[in-house]
Chains A and B, each alone.
Chain A
Amino acid sequence: MAQRALPLSSLPRSGAGLWALLVAGLVIGPVTAVIWRAGGLGALGPADFDALWFTLWQAAVSAGLSVALAVPVARALSRQRFPGRGALIALLGAPFILPVIVAVLGLLAVFGGNGLVNQLTGALGLPRIDIYGYHGVILAHVFFNLPLATRLILQGWLAIPAERFRLAASLGAPVGRLLERPMLRRIAPGAFAVIFVICLTSFAVALTLGGGPRATTVELAIYQAFKFDFDLAKAATLALVQLALGIGSALALLLLSPPDGFGAGLDRLQARWDGRSRPAGLCDALWIGFAALFLLTPLAMIVLAGLPGLMVLPVETWQAALRSVSVALGATALTLVLALPLATRAGELAGLLGVAVSGLVLGTGLFLIVQPLMRPAEAALPVTLLVNALMALPFVLRILRPELDAARADFGRLAATLGITGFALWRIVLLPRLRRPLGFAAGLTAALSMGDLGVIALFADGEHATLPLQLYRLMAAYRMEAAQGAALLLLTLSLGLFWLFDKGGRANA
C-alpha cells in the first residue's frame, strides 16, 4: 500500500512545463513592466518592515487555525449523513466568495459593538466583547478561509477508497492512524499554503477589523505607494517581497506534502463504521454545529439586511449583475482549460504566483504592456477574463492536483498498457475521475469571478460596471440600503453559480 504503482514522471504531462512557464510569465511580465517603467527598485523604510512582520505572522496564524479547525469539521461531514448535508456543504463555501466589505459588515452584525454576541452578553450581564484588534483580523480570515480548508480536506476524505474503510472496519483496525493521518499529511500542507498566500495579500479586512495602523499589511503599503505617492519603484519592490514570501513558503509546503499511497478503489459509495458510536456522533454534531453557526450566522445577517434594499435597486444594478454572470462563466471556461494541463507541482507553483502577486501591481503592469498596443478599454474584457483566471488558478489547481495525481498513479499503468494516450487518456481515464473536483473547482472559479476586481480599475471606462463595482458606487452615493440589496444579489448569484457547478460534480458525495 505504501508503494506507488509507477513513477509519475514517466507519464505524459501534455507539456505542463511550457504551460507553467506561460502562466508564470503572465505574472512576472507585468511586474517586470512596472519595474522597468519605474526605472528600478525602491528602498523600504522601518514602517514597511513592521507591515511585513505583521503580514507574515497574521497569515501564518490565520492559515494554521483555518486548517486546524477544518480537520474535525471535514471529518464530521465525511462520516455523518443527515438531511440537508449537501446544502450545508454548498453554503459553507459562501464566505470565501463574498466581497470583503459585505463579509465585514456581516461579521460585524454578529461580533460588532451592537452585534448579536454583544446583545447576548449584555442581556446576561457579561462584559462587552470587542472584536477590533489582532483577534478580529484572525477571526475574519478564519471566517473567509475555514470553508475552503474544510472543502479541500473533505475532498481528501471522500477520495479515500470506500474499500479501505470497509477493510479497516472488518479488521477492527484504527481508521485514524492508517487512513486519515496519511491523507491529512498529503492534503493539509497544500491547504495551509494556499490560505497562507491569500492572507498575505489581505488589506481591507485586516485594516477594518485590526482597529488601526497596528494591523498594516504590505498590500496597504503598496496601495499607498501607488495611489498617493505614485512611487512605482516602491510599489514594485513591495510586490516582489510579497511574491517571494508567498512562493517561498508555498514551495516549502508543497515539497513537504508526500504523495498518495492508497491505491485505486472501485468508486463505491463510502460507508463509515467509525462514526457510529455515540461519543463520535456527538463530537461530530458539535463540530458541524460550530461551523454552521460560525459561518452561516453572518450570512443570515447579510440576507436580512439586504432584503429591503432589493426593492430599491436601480436598473443599472441588474445590468451589472448580468454582466458579472457572463464574465464569471467566461472566466470559468478559461480557467479550466488552463488548469488541466497545469495540474502538476511546477504548474501549481506557477499558478500560486497569481494570488501571491499584488492585484494593483499586476493591473498596472498589464496596463503598461497593453497600452502601446491598443486602447486599454478595448482590452478590458480579455484582461478581466485573464486576471480572473489567474486569481482562481491556485485554488483550482489545489483542488485538482491531488485527485489527478491519484488517478494517474492508479490507472496510468493500465492506460499505458492499453495504449490509451493523449486526448483519449483525458477523456476515458482522467476526466471521469475528476468529476467531483472539477465541479467544485468550476463553482469556486465562477463565484470568485463574481467578486471584487480592483485589478482592472485602470482598464475600466465606466461603461461596463460589474456588480461589485456597482455596490461600491451605491455606497459612495450614500445609498446604503440599496448597497445592502446589491450585496444580497451578489451573494445569491455567486452562491447560485457555485451550487450549480458543484452539484454537477457532487453526484455521489
Chain B
Amino acid sequence: MLGRTLAAGMIAATATMAAAETPVLTVYAGDYFKSEWGPGPGIEAGFEARCGCDLVYKTGELLPRILLEDERTEADVVIGLTSDVTKKARESGLFAPHGLDTSALTLPVAWQDDTFLPFNYGHTAFVYNKEKVATPPASFDDLLNAPDDLRLVIQDPRSSISGLALVLWVHAVYGDEAEAAWAKLAPKIVTVTKGWSESYGLFTDGEADMVLSYTTSPAYHIIAEEDDTKAAAIFPEGHYFMVELAAKLATTDNPELADQFMAYVLTEDFQSMIPTSNWSLPSALPQEKWPEGFRALPMPEKVLFYNEDEAAALRDEAIEAWRSALSR
C-alpha cells in the first residue's frame, strides 16, 4: 500500500515535469473548496478554458500557512480569506494590489479595497425549523426575550469565524449593552461548538431549535433537498455581513496569470457558479441573475459591518462580553 502511494507520487512528479511548458497557477483555497460538490472544480474548468494554463489548488490552512511560508510561498493567488484576517494579511506585506475596477460589485456594503477582492458574501442569521418553531422571533429583541426553552446552538468566537461574526453582530446591535444582551440569551444557548459544522449537525439532528448560520442556508435545503422546512429569522436591527475574499501574492512568479485569475473572479461565468456550489451570494452578480431559490430568500433590509480596523479594535471587548455573560 505504502509502495503504491509512493509510486503514485513519482508518477505524479513525472507528469508535472512533462507538463512544464504549460504555466501553472497555484491557488491556495479552503479545505471544502475543491471537493466535487464545492466551487473549486467548476472554477478550475472555467479558468483553464480561458488561460491555457493549469490551475492547481492547494487546500488546507490559508493565512497561517502563508505567514509561515513567508516569501517562500508557492501560492500565486489565495481564495477564501475572511475579513477578520485581512488586517494581519495586509500587514504581512505578502499581498499585492489587484488593480481591478470594483464598481461591478453588488455587495450591500461599500467596498473599497485595492488588495482583497470579495468573491461571495452572506449574513449571519439564526436558522430554524419551521415545524418546531411556529412563531420565530421577529427581531433580535424578540429573540432575547423569547422563552428560555427555545434551544439555540452557536459557535465559539475564539475558534470559529461565524462565532466571531456573531459577537460583532451583538456588539453592533447592542453596543455597551452587549453583555446584558448575552446574559438574556445565555439560558437559551444549549451549547457552543468549535465550528459551524458541529453546530449545524446538532441542529439537523434535532438537538436544537435554532442555529447560528447564514441567511443563505435555507437555499441548500430548498434547492438540493427540496425541503422548505428550514428558514432564516430576519431581524430589523440588521444582520452582520460576512465576506470571502481572493488576493494575489506579491511574490508570485506568474503575475500575468494571477491578474487574469483575479479578473476572472468578477466575470459572470465565475459569479454564477457561486450560489449553488458555495451556498452563498455572488459578490458581483445582479439579483435577477441569481438562481430562483436564492431570489426567493428573505434578505435583511439592514446590513451591519465593521471594517478591519474597527473589528480589530472591538474584537477583544466583544468576545469578553460573550465570555463573561456565558461563564456565569
State whether the Cβ of A423 lies closer than 8 Å to any Cβ in chain B: no
Instruction: Verify A462–B34 contact, CB threshold 8 A.
Output: yes
Min CB–CB distance B10 → chain A (angstroms)? 11
Is there contact, CB below 8 Å, between A458 and B190?
Answer: no
Report the tally of A-B residue pairs with Cβ distances under 8 A. Answer: 167
Whether, in the assembled complex, A213 has its beta carbon less than 8 Å from a beta carbon of chain B, the answer is: yes
State whether the Cβ of A264 lies closer than 8 Å to any Cβ in chain B: no
The digit string for B1-43, where 1 denotes a CB below 8 A from any CB of A, is 1101110010000000000000000000101111111100000
Partner of B198, one of A104, A220, A330: A104
**Cβ of A473 under 8 Å from chain B:** yes
Which of B29, B189, B201, B322 has a CB less than 8 Å from the CB of A105? B201
Contact at A473–B194, with CB atoms within 8 Å? no
| Given the contacts A458-B61, A469-B31, A472-B31, A326 and B1 also touching, CB distance less than 8 Å | yes
Partner of A112, one of B2, B67, B156, B207: B207
Q: Answer whether residue B287 sits at the interface, using C-beta atoms and an 8 A cutoff.
A: no
Q: With a CB–CB cut-off of 8 A, which chain A residues contact B158?
A: 216, 220-221, 223-224, 228
CA distance A37 to B70 in the complex (A): 12
Determine whether the beta carbon of B88 is less than 8 Å from that of A101. Answer: no
Distance to closest chain B CB from A384 (angstroms):
10
Query: Are A211 and B1 in touch, CB under 8 angstroms?
Result: no
Is A364 part of the binding interface, using a Cβ–Cβ cutoff of 8 Å? yes
Is A325 interfacial (CB 8 A cutoff)?
yes
Across the two chains, which residue of chain A brings its CB closest to B197?
A: A475
Please choose the segment from A6-14, A184-192, A478-486 that sits at the chain B interface, where 4 or more of its residues have CB less than 8 A away. Answer: A478-486
Q: Which of A201-209, A267-275, A350-358, A490-498 contacts B (4 or more CB under 8 A)?
A: A201-209
A342 on interface, CB distance cutoff 8 Å:
no
| A393 smallest CB distance to B (angstroms) | 19
B84: Cβ under 8 A from any A Cβ? yes
Against A, the Cβ 8 Å flags (1 = close, 0 = not) of B144-168 are: 0000000100001011000010000
Q: Restricting to B209-251, which residues have a CB under 8 Å from any CB of A? A: 217, 220-221, 224
Task: Check B59–A460 contact: CB distance below 8 A.
Answer: yes
Complex contact B61–A475 (CB within 8 A): no
Contact B224 A478 (CB under 8 A): yes
Question: How far is B38's CA from A314's CA once the two chains are assembled, in angstroms?
Answer: 13
Residue of B nearest to A305 (CB): B205
Residues of A within 8 A of B322 (CB): 213
Which residue from chain B places its CB closest to the CB of A213 in the assembled complex? Answer: B323
> Smallest CB-CB separation from A314: which chain B residue?
B36
A326–B5 CB distance below 8 A: yes
Nearest opposing residue in chain B for A215, CB measure = B192
Residue numbers in B under 8 Å from A480 (CB-CB) = 200-201, 204-205
Q: Is B103 an interface residue (CB 8 A)?
A: no
Q: Is the interface on chain A under 10, 10 to 19, 20 to 34, or 35 or more residues?
A: 35 or more
B207 touches A462 (CB 8 A): no
Decide yes or no whether B175 CB sits under 8 A from chain A: no
- B63: chain A residues at CB < 8 Å are 230
Contact of B192 among A207, A326, A368, A475 (CB under 8 A): A207
Cβ B88 vs Cβ A230 within 8 A: yes
Interface residue A411 (Cβ < 8 Å from any Cβ of B): no
Q: Does B60 contact A (CB under 8 A)?
A: yes
B57 close to A (CB within 8 Å): yes
- Interface flag for B304 (CB, 8 Å): no
Query: Of all chain A residues, which has the CB nearest B57?
Result: A462
Residue in A101, A112, A375, A457 whose CB lies within 8 Å of B197 = A101
CB contact between A207 and one of B33, B186, B194 (< 8 Å): that residue: B194
Determine the distance from Cα of A251 to Cα of B6 in the docked complex, in whole angstroms. 39
Knowing A316-B36, A462-B59, A477-B32, say if A367 contacts B68 (CB, 8 Å): yes
Q: Would A477 and B64 be within 8 Å (CB), given that A112-B207, A204-B194, A330-B2 are in contact? A: no
- The reply to whether B60 and A461 form a contact with Cβ atoms under 8 Å apart is yes
Q: Using A212-B191, A330-B2, A478-B200 as known contacts, say yes or no to A462 and B58 having CB atoms under 8 A apart.
A: yes
- List of A residues within 8 angstroms of B197 by Cβ: 101, 472, 475-476
Cβ distance A462 to chain B, nearest Cβ, rounded Å: 3
Q: A214-B326, A478-B279 are in contact. Are A473 and B35 (CB under 8 A)?
A: yes
Closest Cβ–Cβ distance, residue B310 to chain A (whole Å)? 17
Q: Is the CB of B64 within 8 A of A371?
A: no
B297 at the interface (CB under 8 A from A): no
Residue from the list A220, A230, A316, A375 in contact with B74, Cβ < 8 A: A375
Given A101-B197, A208-B198, A330-B2, is A364 in contact with B36 using a C-beta cutoff of 8 Å?
no
Please, which residue of chain A has its CB at the minimum distance from the CB of B196? A476
Q: Which residue of A lies closest to B84 (CB)?
A: A228
Closest B residue to A133 using CB positions: B191
Within 445-460 of A, Cβ neighbours of B (below 8 Å) are at: 457-460
For the complex, give the distance between the alpha carbons of A473 and B32 in Å: 5
- Determine the chain B residues whose CB is within 8 A of the CB of A214 once the complex forms: 326-327
Assembled-state Cα–Cα distance A323/B1 (Å): 9
B321 to chain A minimum Cβ distance, whole angstroms, is: 11
B residues 160-193 with Cβ under 8 Å of A? 164, 186, 189-193
What's the minimum C-beta distance from A326 to chain B, rounded to whole angstroms?
Answer: 3
A207 — which chain B residues lie within 8 A by C-beta? Answer: 156, 159, 192-194
Partner of A223, one of B5, B159, B279, B323: B159
- For residue B204, which residues in chain A have a CB less than 8 angstroms away from its CB? 480
Q: List 15 A-B contacts (CB under 8 A).
A: A108-B207, A132-B190, A211-B192, A212-B186, A213-B322, A223-B159, A227-B159, A230-B63, A305-B205, A316-B35, A330-B1, A460-B59, A469-B31, A476-B31, A476-B197
Q: Can you list the 9 inter-chain pairs with the closest CB atoms, starting with the nearest?
A: A462-B59, A326-B1, A475-B197, A476-B32, A224-B158, A212-B326, A478-B220, A212-B192, A204-B194
